[in-house]
Chain A
Amino acid sequence: MLKQEYTVTVYTENQIGLLNRIAIIFSRRKINVESLNTSPSEIDSVHRFNIVINESEEVVRKLCRQIEKQVDVLKAYYNNNDEIVWQELALYKVSTDIIASEVKVERLLSQYGARAVVIRKDYTVFSVTGHREETDQLLKVLEPYGLIEFVRSARVAIIKSSEGFHRKLTQFEQHEPPSEMVENEFLDQQENVFSM
């Protein structure tokens, strides 16, 4: 099966050690994590991981089941890039002198939607949010002008079709979950596998 970029979204309890528990699911299988972000979610006390990997769907599906198996994990979803809205943030440190003297740099910065975060006599820090290609492009064009420092954040992503986690959490909190609750979307997808 073809490898492509998948974003795994994991809802978890906020528990020390859980990051390691999730990370070793990937490292045990020698799968490289392209980017990993942990943050609060729409629900107070529920944590949200965004993990980006380049793998086939079959592998990603199995990984999600292994992640969901962890006691402190509420739910894991995976999506390809068509199914999510995502952003990354990049910071660029450039010499202020160069920006002042080179009109071209100024133009490039506005062309790529860069925003000045800090302006000092010696250097200026710009930020760009966007997809990898966009932040990469600015990196490339700034390089000839003496880029001092560069850093990029992990991907944060919103699932287009998601209705958020509130309803699911209410179901999970019930001791006897309602029978209409769908626990495993992956099994549902199997309905079209079954043939008599």
Chain B
Amino acid sequence: MSILTETKPGMIVDEVPQTMLSGAEATMRCLVAEGVDLIFGYPGGAIMPIYDALFHYGKQLEHILVRHEQGAIHAAQGYARVSGKTGVVFATSGPGATNLVTGLADAMIDSTPVVCITGQVFAHLLGTDAFQETDVMNITTPITKWNYQVTEAHEIPGVIAKAFYIARSGRPGPVLIDITKNAQIQSFNYTGYEKCRHIRSYRPKPIIRKEYIQQAAALIDEAERPLIIFGQGVILGKAESEFKAFLEKSGIPAAWTILGMSAIPTDHPNAVGMLGMHGNYGPNLLTNECDVLIAIGMRFDDRVTGRLDKYAKQAKIIHLDIDPSEIDKNVKTTVPVWGDCKETLPLLTKAIQKKNYLTWFQKFDDCKLQEETKVIFNELNPTGTSLTMGEVIHILNSFTGGKAILVTDVGQHQMVTCRYAKFTDSKSNITSGGLGTMGFALPAAIGAKYGAPHREVVAIIGDGGIQMTIQELGTIMQFKPNVKIIILNNNFLGMVRQWQELFHENRYSFVNIMSPDYVQVAKGYHIAARSVSARNELTDAIREMLEHPGSFLLEVIVGKENNVFPMVPQGRGVAEVILCKEDL
């Protein structure tokens, strides 16, 4: 009999009189005690004891059988990103584990809390080139926050507790536990599960240094043209309301990175749009005009900064980050505010004076007007017969009111979605940011639906990306999560084609990708579908998709050779952002 007590941190949550359990069964007990109720996975030889134990835990642990392990980990990522909880993945040894690699790398660079449990061959076979043996530990070392190989059953409770603590604390990230088959089978004396809340060699929450808060506040108070740039740290730190309070008092314009998007509503009075290669004109251009740049929970990715030696050289830089290795990594900081922004932001809010920056905001408005005239108006009111990606997102906005979770893949459709989408709630923009993983969106959308079952989830995917993980339509067919899928089909690998047009003199080298009949494919999976290419049908098609009671695949044929602008061409500074091809 287990007594599940209230989960106070560090308390024993699964107290049992000593029981003999197999490693596999203990794994189930530990996961339940940790609060896990959903697993994405795929069985195989080396993880069969765990799947056998799972068979008896159907009531506590829901398992979604994906079609490929990459789908499992992207689904766990989508789940984690919308729920703020830790995604859990099961996979077998060898190919099962190597199929997780892309997702681990994606979760690592985008700081997503995921715990992967992989089976491994018997401990005595390690290193003998056994069937389905792969050196998973060494393959995954650079792409996990922590990994551990269990070869004895008694290690399991401690290692699982540590894994969940590491995955979700501090700057979150993926953790992999590789359990040899003998450890899954072996019986041991299970004495209960104790949640981990301290590891002596690991300090997830740095001590906040008051003097840096004061120095940062002094810089902010003196500033005449300050600019806030924020990233996913605000969302991961669950610091949205603290951030809004800071914005309200400071009155400073704020621009988001792609992963920071939706932390504040897109129509927030301080919001000035998105940073980055295809971000908005104003925030990119004016980064090089601000006098104090306040970076919050972001890591100065090269897609945000453009050329570093031309990036915000005139500005004093305040960097708030939980990860000390980010301070000064790419951009030299004037004041480092090292800490969890949920704690540092209120201190900073308290220390600063209330101000407003009307003339400074006016500059952003001027830029916005230019961008609207030169880019946005044409994208949303095209004169040609072919549809634009922008108008699809625009119509989608009008139906969802910004309430939906949008899951995007990688490429032109991703940039257009992030440029034109409206969001009202946090954790709504799910995309592969750092790694740029094509094939991310479909499985991530499945996971997102499980993470937020009462919210509308719309996956927006290009015709390239959908074909990378299209097999996950099978998962949708079988488990029926209500996921809406929009394929923006331009019959090209659009972003590569855009670069070939702009920088490789129109040499379209292997970008003309063919698509199957998506409606027929969906029908094969018993998923409702429609294809649309005419403007007068678009609104109706999107309505039909959203009103359909189950999953729905909508293919929208869009213009073949549209480009995404504005653009900060690679190797240029942010102030060299261009609004059209002619500016190049």
Q: Give me the interface of A with B, judged by CB distance under 8 Å.
A: 12-13, 16-17, 20-21, 24, 28, 61-62, 65-66, 68-69, 71-74, 169, 172-173, 175, 177, 179, 181, 183-184, 186-187, 190-191, 193-196
Residues of chain B within 8 A (CB-CB) of A62 are 325, 328-329
A181: min CB distance to chain B, Å = 6
Q: How far is the CB of B69 from chain A (nearest CB, A)?
A: 22
> Min CB distance, A8 to chain B, in Å?
15
Q: Is the CB of A66 within 8 A of B200?
A: no
Query: Can you name 15 A-B residue pairings with CB atoms under 8 Å?
Result: A17-B137, A20-B141, A65-B325, A68-B325, A69-B323, A169-B200, A183-B203, A184-B324, A187-B338, A190-B333, A191-B211, A193-B332, A194-B335, A196-B219, A196-B222
Instruction: Give complex CA distance A195, B218 in Å.
Output: 11
Contact A74 B200 (CB under 8 A): yes
Given contacts A20-B138, A175-B198, A187-B338, contact A66 B325 (CB under 8 A): yes
Contact A187/B201 with A179-B207, A196-B219 known, Cβ cut-off 8 Å: no
Contact B325 A175 (CB under 8 A): no
Given the complex of chains A and B, what is the CA–CA distance between A169 and B203 in angstroms?
Answer: 12
The chain B residue sitting closest to A65, CB to CB, is B325
| Least Cβ–Cβ distance between B466 and chain A, in angstroms | 32
A68 to B203, CA, bound (A): 10
For A25, the closest partner residue in chain B by CB is B142
Q: Are B203 and A177 in contact (CB under 8 A)?
A: yes
> A172 vs B137: C-alpha distance in the bound complex, in angstroms?
27
Contact bitstring B180-203, A, C-beta under 8 A = 1, else 0 = 000000000000000001111111
Do A28 and B142 have beta carbons less than 8 Å apart? yes
Name the interface residues of B317-369: CB closer than 8 Å to any CB of A.
323-325, 327-329, 332-336, 338
Contact residues in B for A184 (Cβ distance below 8 Å)? 206, 324, 338
Q: Are B207 and A177 in contact (CB under 8 A)?
A: yes
B147 close to chain A: CB less than 8 A: yes
Task: Provide the residues of chain A in CB contact with B154, threshold 8 Å.
Answer: none
Distance in Å from the Cβ of B166 to the closest Cβ of chain A?
Answer: 6
Pick the contact of B199: A71, A169, A177, A193 (CB < 8 A): A71
Docked-complex contact A173 and B200, CB < 8 angstroms: yes
Cross-chain contact of B336 among A21, A66, A71, A190 (Cβ < 8 A):
A190
Extra contacts, 12 of them, besides A65-B329, A190-B333, A190-B336 (Cβ < 8 A), are: A17-B147, A62-B328, A62-B329, A68-B324, A71-B202, A184-B206, A187-B324, A190-B328, A193-B334, A194-B215, A194-B335, A195-B334
A69, B138: Cβ atoms closer than 8 Å: no
Q: Is B146 an interface residue (CB 8 A)?
A: yes
**Chain B interface (Cβ within 8 Å of chain A)?**
10, 137-138, 141-142, 145-147, 149, 166, 197-203, 206-207, 209, 211, 215, 218-219, 222, 323-325, 327-329, 332-336, 338
Contact of B145 among A71, A73, A190 (CB under 8 A): A71
> For the complex, what is the distance from the CA of A195 to the CA of B211, rounded to whole Å?
13
User: Does the CB pair A175–B197 fall under 8 Å?
Assistant: yes
CA distance in complex: A69, B325 (Å): 7
Which residues of A are found within 8 Å of B222, using beta-carbon distances? 196
With A73-B201, A175-B197, A177-B207 given, is the CB distance from A194 to B334 under 8 Å? yes
Q: Which residues of A contact B207 (CB under 8 A)?
A: 177, 179, 181, 183
Distance of A73 Cα from B200 Cα, bound (Å): 9
Residue of B141, B200, B206, B218 with most partner-chain A CB within 10 A: B200
Which chain A positions have C-beta within 8 A of B327?
Answer: 65, 187
Partner of A71, one of B142, B146, B218, B335: B146
Residue of B nearest to A46 (CB): B201
Smallest CB–CB gap between A176 and chain B, Å? 9
Q: Is the CB of B325 within 8 A of A187?
A: no
CB neighbours of B328 from chain A (8 A): 61-62, 190
In the complex, which residues of chain B have a beta carbon less than 8 angstroms from the beta carbon of A24?
141-142
Considering only CB atoms, which chain B residue lies closest to A186 in the complex?
A: B324
Residues of B within 8 A of A187 (CB): 209, 324, 327, 336, 338
Chain A residues with CB under 8 A of B332 = 193
In the assembled complex, which residues on chain B have CB atoms less than 8 Å from the CB atom of A183? 203, 206-207, 324
Question: In the complex, what residue of chain B is closest to A177 when comparing beta carbons?
Answer: B207
A49 to B570, CA, bound (A): 40
A56→B468 CA distance, assembly (Å): 43
Residues of the B chain whose Cβ atoms lie less than 8 Å from the Cβ of A13: 201
Interface centre among A13, A169, A179, A184 (most CB of B within 10 A): A184
Q: How far is the CA of A179 from the CA of B146 in the complex (A)?
A: 27
Contacts of B137 in A (CB 8 A): 17
Identify the closest chain A residue to B198 (Cβ).
A175
Q: Which residues of A contact B146 (CB under 8 A)?
A: 71-72
**Chain A hits for B201, CB < 8 A:** 12-13, 71-74, 172
Interface centre among B138, B147, B203, B335 (most CB of A within 10 A): B203
Asked if A71 meets B166 with Cβ closer than 8 Å, knowing A172-B200, A173-B200, the reply is: yes
Closest to B219 in A: A196
Chain A contacts of B329 at CB under 8 A? 62, 65
Expressed in whole angstroms, the Cα–Cα distance for A28 and B199 within the complex equals: 27
Complex CA distance for A105 and B555, rounded to whole angstroms: 85
Known: A184-B338, A194-B215. A172 touches B203 (CB 8 A): yes
- Residues of B near A186 (CB, < 8 A) are 324
Q: Using Cβ atoms and an 8 Å threshold, which residues of chain A touch B200?
A: 74, 169, 172-173
The 4 closest A-B pairs by CB, nearest first: A65-B325, A71-B146, A74-B201, A172-B200
